[in-house]
Amino acid sequence: MKKKIIVLIVLFLLSGCSFYDEYEMPKEVVLKTKNLKLEVYSENTINDLIEDKNVEIINSKDKINTNSLGKKKTTIEYKYDDRKYKYDVNYEIVDTTAPIPIYVKDYYYTYVGDTTSEKINFCESANFIDNYDRKPTCSIEGTYDVNTAGQYKLKYLIKDKSNNILEQEITFDVIEETEETDEDEYYEEEIEEEKIDFNSIIQNYKNDKTMIGIDVSRWQGDIDFDKVKKAGAEFVIMRMAVSNGPDDPIGLDSKFKQNIKNAKKAGLKIGVYIYTSPSTKDEIKKQAKYVLKELNKMKLDFPIAYDFENWEDIRKLKLNLHDLTTMVDEFYNIVKEDGYKVMIYGSKYYLEKIWNQDKYPIWLAQYSDQPTYQGKYIMWQLGNNGKIDGIDNDVDIDIYYNN
């Protein structure tokens, strides 16, 4: 029995598997570290911590956890003179990014003596998001007197837990009821917007690298997809499912089944999008499983579009920027089980300021003759007031770019 034990010990020592010498770093070793302060949610590896070395780093590609603030420790594993060593390194995760404005007005007004007006609930009406802090604070710097007419200069101070501050100046008018306000310009007579003719889009944008199509929901009513096809549309993206928040369970668009059946019958290429605003990973997982169940492995010609537009409730949802992308990740990790891909739908502002990532294909919404968005995108929604034969109401028009 003793001989067997001795033999096993010898074999283990000879193998050298997972064995590290437990003594101090040799004097000849050079292992200098750098960047001991890392930005929260940054993508870093062990190799990013090393400034100079004369050793072989075994775990150089290991990722460093940067998902929470504070002082951390990680271990560098290296090899020198055919022996393996471990070296502990202390580092700190910090947040140096100020909150981002989503909707923060720079002009308010009220009437003299009106102390209860909702128009002066500055922080309640402001909307903003932070890269890390889920509940940034808001305060107003400056003084004003609602009993005295005048124009007051104030300032928003929107601050996260790391004391990064978003500052924005406010003009606050206290006026007599007979006076006009700077907001009066918004009440000018509305001019009817010129409709976008689908034929003109085909003439201006159709080539061998593009497809021209539309996206629809129940708001377009009953659609004659045969006429849509004859009008030159090559594809249709349909709203499949809708959830307006945590208290609103996901459900099918009331026209989805009718739309997808008739669009396929007409010979159009098809895609779907979900309109959602989840606040937890569990919520988006349930929604993704619901989507898979309803699709039932149906073939789609485009990635499933993830449409988050509930920015007015972002503070109520208590999300940070990282959470938003994590939700998409959770959604994708489930729908990919049935072979589906995912793209993010968003306007130019939100794609540049909020999403700000190239992990997923982008469906850009920018209503103009030519997009000015500098990022990559595979589809462009150029307007929401299109007219096409087969649909009585206005419709969104899209251009898909073939790779």
233-290 tens-digit pLDDT: 999 999 999 998 877 889 999 999 999 999 999 999 999 999 999 999 999 999 999 9
* Phi/psi-derived region of residue 245, left when phi > 0, alpha when psi is between -120 and 50, beta in every other case: left
Q: What is the pLDDT of residue 248?
A: 86
Q: What is the pLDDT of residues 114-172, one digit of tens each?
A: 877 656 789 998 999 999 999 999 999 999 999 999 999 999 999 999 999 999 999 99
Average pLDDT over residues 76-86: 92
- What string of DSSP letters covers 65-88? --SS-EEEEEEEEEEETTEEEEEE
State residue 170's pLDDT score. Answer: 94
Which residues pair with residue 91 across a beta bridge?
A: 72
Spatial separation of the C-alpha atoms in residues 220 and 397, rounded to whole Å: 13
- The first and second tokens of residue 362, run together, are 């982008």
Domain boundaries along the sequence of the chain: 19-94, 100-182, 196-401
CA distances from 187 to 170, 175, 317 (A): 21, 18, 32
Using alpha carbons, select from 229, 197, 375, 379 the residue that is nearest to residue 301.
379
Instruction: Count the Cβ atoms, other than its own, within 10 Å of residue 379.
Output: 24
Amino acid found at 100: I
Q: H or E segment at 3?
A: helix 2-15
CATH architecture of 196-401: Alpha-Beta Barrel (3.20)
To 10 degrees, what angle do helices 321-335 and 281-295 make?
A: 30
Distance CA 292, CA 277 (A): 18
Topology annotation, domain 19-94: Immunoglobulin-like (2.60.40)
Per the CB < 8 A criterion, the answer to whether 131 and 321 are in contact is: yes
Please state the separation of Cα 282 from the chain's center in Å: 18
Q: Selecting from 2.40.70.10, 3.30.365.10, 2.60.40.10, 3.40.50.1820, what CATH number does the domain 100-182 have?
A: 2.60.40.10
19-94 matches 100-182 in fold = yes
pTM of the model: 0.85
Distance CA 318, CA 130 (A): 10
pLDDT in tens, 348-378: 999 998 987 788 999 999 999 999 999 999 9
Residue 73 C-beta-side C-alpha neighbours within 13 Å: 3
Strand pairing partners for 84? 79
**Residues 95-134 as b or e (16 or more Cβ within 10 Å = b):** bebbbbbbebbeebbbbeebeeeebbebeeebebbbbbbe
Cβ atoms of 172 and 105 closer than 8 Å: no
pLDDT of the residue at 178: 75
Measured between alpha carbons, how far is residue 167 from residues 130, 159, 162, 322, 396 in Å? 14, 9, 15, 22, 36
- Considering only residues 117 and 332, tell me which one the structure prediction assigns the higher pLDDT: 332
pLDDT at residue number 82:
87
Give the Cα separation of 350 and 370 in Å (integer): 18
Token representation of residue 112: 């003299």
Average pLDDT over residues 306-329: 93
Question: Tell me: the pLDDT tens digits for 85-125?
Answer: 999 999 999 999 999 999 999 999 999 988 776 567 899 98
Q: Residue 114: helix, strand or coil by DSSP?
A: coil
- The secondary structure of residue 199, as a DSSP letter, is H
